[in-house]
Amino acid sequence: MTTTITRRGILGAAIASPVLARPALAQGEWPNRPIRWIVAFAAGGAADTAARSIAADMQESLGQNIVIENRTGGNAVIAANATLQSPRDGYTFLIDAANQLTNPVLMRDLPFDYATSFVPVTQVSSFPQVIAVKHDFPARTLREFIDVAKARPNTVSVGTPPAAGMAHLALASFERSAGIRLVHAPYRGGADAARDIMAGSVDAVLITTSSIRPPVQAGRARVLAVTSLERVQSLPDVPTIAESGFPGFDLNDWNGLFAATGTPRVAIEKMAAAAAVSAKAAPVRARMDPAGAIMIGNSPEAFATWLAVQRRTAGEVIRQAGITLG
């Protein structure tokens, strides 16, 4: 699916506000035609929405349209391959997420090496996750949840979307750190897990702050903790796992912009500079803040450093927990 995004089409529903002052990017040959972002996820999902929102705003700084092309399938390998097979002239980029970290550990015979085939450009957004229980579960704090799980090993069911996703990794890491044994219930998406906790057919879920909103608002679920290192704006009274006895715990869903190795450095740097401004733009925040997304827009160097830590963490969790795609 290919779409040329426009500011009016993507941000028309956003709250009107003064336009932020934008630094003029150095004039040069790039960009002089539309830019393509290949998105490894379906249109309408959280990662796709964040990408479209920031891309629509970035067009003002770059002076060119950004064309969004959704290429799903193959656990995001199809989109990655399409990016690598495109000319490395600075006009094709990839929106990807934790697949960059997990696929090398989970999948055999990959046709490329993620770590060397792609250059990090900027982290677009982070999606904090929560541990939430159904409304009648006998725990109101994370410590009480752990106590119940220890008293009833291998009986408390926890849903995550999907198998081997960031939520699954966060759950496995928490399970190991807390010394508990849970029953993992994988779902295709966060909405499916939210539906089942609302119905009471699963004891708990580990899903994004956005996905948990409907069951919480309906009084069918309670949030016990968030997986981010700091508390989230949409749930200011909910403690983090880190402050609940597990220092340093920080495993969130996220998405980022990548370029194929060999892409001109000027394109990477200008793209990151535009993202840094647009991540703070009021229209983008107005659209993404209510969804619980934290817009980032960091430098290629900062993103690369963060990815290196996340890659090691993801690999350790997958191996220790014996996580597979099946």
pLDDT higher at 10 or 56: 56
Average pLDDT of the segment spanning 106-121: 96
pLDDT tens column, 118-133: 999 999 999 999 999 9
Note the pLDDT tens digit of each residue in 254-289. Answer: 999 999 999 999 999 999 999 999 999 999 999 998
**Burial degree of 112 (CB within 10 A; 0-12, 13-18, 19+):** middle
pLDDT tens-digit series, residues 131-160: 999 999 999 999 999 999 999 999 999 999
pTM of the model: 0.84
Q: Is the pLDDT of residue 9 over 50?
A: no
| pLDDT of residue 76 exceeding 80 | yes
Quick one: average pLDDT of 27-53? 90
pLDDT, tens digit (0-9, with 9 covering 90-100), for 174-229: 999 999 999 999 998 888 999 999 999 999 999 999 899 999 999 999 999 999 99
d(CA 228, CA 234): 13
Q: What is the per-residue pLDDT for 326?
A: 67
Q: pLDDT band at residue 16, thresholds of 50, 70 and 90?
A: very low
Beta bridge partners of 38: 69, 94
> What pLDDT is recorded for position 44?
85
Burial class (CB within 10 angstroms; exposed 0-12, middle 13-18, buried 19+) of 191? middle
Local confidence band at 81 (pLDDT 50, 70, 90 cut-offs): very high
Arithmetic mean of pLDDT over the chain: 90
Percent of the chain with pLDDT over 70: 91
Confidence band (pLDDT; 50, 70, 90) for 233?
confident
Helix (H, G, I), strand (E, B) or coil at 166: helix
**Domains with residue ranges and CATH for the chain:** 2-127+254-321 (3.40.190.150), 129-244 (3.40.190.10)
Within 279-323, residue ranges assigned H as helices are 282-288, 300-321
Q: Please tell me the predicted confidence (pLDDT) of residue 87.
A: 97
Confidence of residue 162 (pLDDT cuts 50, 70, 90): confident
Does residue 6 carry a pLDDT above 70? no
Distance CA 125, CA 113 (A): 24
CA distances to 64, 90, 256 from 34, rounded to whole Å, are 5, 10, 20
Residue 15 pLDDT: 26
In sequence order, the 6+-apart residues with CB closer than 8 A to the CB of 89 are 263, 264, 267
